[in-house]
Chains A and B, each alone.
Chain A
Amino acid sequence: MQCFSQQGGFLLPDQSHSIDRRPWLLLSPALVFITVLVVIPMAFILVYSFYENIDLAVDVPAFQFGNWMELLTDGYYHTAIWKTLRLSVIVTVLAAVLGYIPAYVIAMTRYRHKWLLLLLLILPFWISFIIRTLSWIHIFGNQGALNGLMNLLGLGDLQVQLMYTEFTVIVGFIHVFLPYMILNVYVSLEGIDRNLEPAARTLGATPWQAFREVTLPLSLPGLAAGSLLVFVLTGGSYVTPLILGGPSDFLFGNLVYDAVVTELNWPMGATLSFALLILLGSVVILYSRLMGMNQLAKAFG
C-alpha cells in the first residue's frame, strides 16, 4: 500500500489524501448498484410521468403536467391515499402490539434452544408469500375452516362472511409482516443488559413499572424500526388486497398496478409510483425526526 511507510506507519504527507479516498472506495460497489438499479430507473420513471398517453400503450414524449394534475384533482386518488395511510397505521399498530409479546418472550426465555424459537419465526419465509396469503381463503371462506367449525358446533345459522373484507386484508398483512416486527424488537430487547430490570426491581419498581420505565424505552429503537418497516411494506403492497380484499379494499399500490398492467397507461403509472415514493419517503423522514432516534442512539454512547 502506498500510504504505508516501510516501517509500517502512516506517512504524514499522504495521510489526508488516503483518508479522503478510502471510504469512497469501500462504498463504491454499493453506490454503483444504487445508481444503476435505483437512481437511474427512478429518474426514468420521473421523466415518464411527464409523457402523454394518447391511446392504450401509446405514449408521446412530452413535458406536460396532465398526469400530475389528474392525481392532484381526482378524488379517487385521494381516497386511495387515505385508505393506504389508514390501513398502514392499523396494520403497524396491531403488528407492534402483537409482535412485542413474542419478541419479549423469545428474548427473555431461559430455554436452552432459543435458536429453535427464532427458526420457527423465520420458517414461514420458506413458503411463498402468495401461498401464505391464499391460505386464508381456506380459513375465512364460506366453505372454510372457520364456518366448518361453526357448523360442527351447531352454530351453522351464524354463518359469517369474513372473506374479501378489510378484516381479511389486515389479517393477511399481519400474517406476512409480523416476523419483521418481531425480529426487530427481539434484536433490541436482546441488547438490553439483563441486570437493568432486577436493578429497577430492587429500587422499588413493581415488575410492570420496571418494564415500563426500563425495558420498554430501551426497546423503542427496535420497535420504531420494526414499525417503520411494516408501515412502508404495507403502504407499498398491492397483492394482499388483491387476493384477500373486496372491490373497495384497494391501496395506492393497486392503482399503480391498474394503470400499468390493466390500462397500459405507463405515464400515469409512473406518476402514481413516484407519488407513492414521495409519500412513503416523507413518512420515513418525518418519522425519524419525531422519534428522535438519534437522541436515543446517543444514550447508548
Chain B
Amino acid sequence: MARVELKSVRKQFGPVVAVHGADVVFEEGSFTTLLGPSGCGKTTILRMVSGLEKPTSGDIEIGGNRINDVPIHKRNLGLVFQNYALFPHRTIGENIAFGLKYRDVPKSEMARKVTEALDIVRLPGVEDRYPSQLSGGQQQRIALARAIVIEPDVLLLDEPLSALDANLREEMRVELKTIQDRIGVTSIFVTHDQSEALAMSDKIIVMSAGRIEQVGTPEEVYNTPASEFVAGFLGAANLLQARVINRDATHVVLETAEFGQTPVPLSHAATLGQSNDAKLMVRAEKLTLGPKGSDGVAAKVEAVDYQGQLARYFLRVGDTQLQAMNMIDGAPFGAGETVALSMNPDACAALPVGGPA
C-alpha cells in the first residue's frame, strides 16, 4: 500500500502529446478512477505508473520514492488488463503463483496464498483448470487474484470490466469494490464508463485530450462539473447559453432565454470566473415535467424514450432542444403534448463558456 504521486508528468509519442503535464495524487488506500473517452491519456498515465511507458518529463513517486528509473519487475504493482492476459499454457494455480515465484515465498506458503486469493475472488477449487476452461467473468477474477496475491503497493486496473457483458459487469464492479475495500490497496482504475466511475470511486479524475479536466468525489464531479466537457461526459446534461446579470455573497444570477433568471449557488459556480458569458447546466433528471397549465415554462414533447420506470423526453422550448428524465407516475406524457417544465435552481450549475469540449 502506498501513495502515488505524479509531478508534472508529460508524455509525448513522436509529435503527439498524450499527457500534458499532469499533477495528480492517488491517496494511500483510496480507489481513484481515471475517466475519459478513448485517447484522452488515461491509459497512458496508468502505463507510466506501471512502468510500461516512460514519461517524457516529470516525476512519478510511489510511497515517496521516485520510481521513474525503477524497472517494471521491481515496482511491486498488480496490473489487471482488459483482456485478462492470463497465461494460457499455465493452470489457474500456476497463473496466480506466478508472481510469488519471484518473491522468495516458500512452496507450502505459496499454495496457501493461492487458495486464499481464490477464496477472496470467490472461485475456490479451480487451481488445476486452464484459463480457457473458465468464462470471461471467471478469468477476470483470476486475473485479479493473480494481481493481489503478491500484495502489491498499488493495484492498477485497465478497463477490467469492459470485456464483460452488461449484467456481469455490474455484478463484478460491486465485487471488485468490496475486495478493494477489504484488502485496502491503493487502486487506480481506468475506464470510459461514467457509471462505473461514479459507482466505485473515492475520487474521479476526468480527462480529455491529454489534460485533466476535474478532480473530485463522484458527487462533486457530477453535481458541480468544472467544464462543459465534464458536464456532458457524465450523465445527461442540458447546457444553455446564459448571461450573468448579478452576483452576490451566496448566488450568481444567470439569465437564459428559456428559463429567465436563475440564481445558482456560488458553490455550483466555482470555475465561472468573472466573465459575463456563461453556460447554465441543468441535469436531465432535474427538469420536471408537469401537466399543461401548472407552474413552469411551456414546452412541447417531441419524442419519448420509454425505459420502464423512467422516461426520457426530448423537448422543445422556443428554438432550444432539451432532455428530461422523469420517473413515470401513472402514464408518461405523449409526443406532441404541451407540458410545463420546472426546475430547482439549487440543482443547477454555472459553467464557463467553451473549453476543450
Contact = CB atoms under 8 A, between A and B. Distances in A.
A201 B52 CA distance: 9
Interface in B106-135: 130, 132-133
B85 A201 contact: no
Given A195-B81, A195-B83, A196-B87, A203 B130 contact: no
Contacts of A296: 89
A299 B132 contact: yes
A281 interface: no
B279 interface: no
Interface residues of B, number: 30
14 contacts: A198-B79, A199-B87, A200-B87, A202-B75, A202-B156, A203-B98, A204-B150, A205-B98, A209-B73, A209-B102, A217-B89, A298-B130, A299-B88, A301-B133
A196 B85 contact: yes
A205 B73 contact: yes
A210 B73 CA distance: 10
Given A195-B83, A196-B87, 14 more contacts: A195-B85, A198-B52, A198-B81, A198-B85, A199-B81, A200-B87, A201-B72, A201-B73, A202-B79, A203-B99, A204-B73, A213-B98, A299-B130, A299-B132
B150 A203 contact: yes
With most chain B CB atoms within 10 A of its CB, the pick from A203, A206, A209 is A203
Contacts of A301: 88, 130, 132-133
B141 interface: no
A301 B132 CA distance: 5
Contact of A204 (B81, B85, B89, B103): B103
A294 B132 CA distance: 15
B198 to A, nearest CB: 27
Contacts of A209: 73, 102
A218 B88 contact: yes
A196 B77 CA distance: 15
Nearest to B143: A199
B192 interface: no
Contact of A214 (B71, B87, B133): B87
Contact of A199 (B71, B76, B85, B133): B85
Contact of A202 (B78, B87, B89, B132): B78
Interface in A222-274: none
Nearest to A218: B89
Contacts of A33: none
Nearest to A200: B98
Contacts of A203: 73, 98-99, 102, 146-147, 150
Given A217-B89, A218-B89, A300-B88, A204 B102 contact: yes
A193 interface: yes
Interface in B69-101: 71-79, 81, 83, 85, 87-89, 98-99, 101
A107 to B, nearest CB: 17
A124 B88 CA distance: 35
A227 B163 CA distance: 37
B272 to A, nearest CB: 43
B50 interface: yes
A200 B99 CA distance: 8
Smallest CB-CB A-B distances: 3 pairs: A301-B132, A204-B102, A203-B99
A199 B98 CA distance: 10
A201 B147 CA distance: 12
A195 B163 CA distance: 15
B332 to A, nearest CB: 40
A195 B143 CA distance: 12
Contacts of A218: 88-89
A204 B76 CA distance: 7
A301 to B, nearest CB: 3
Contacts of B73: 201-206, 209-210
A117 B149 CA distance: 41
Nearest to A300: B88
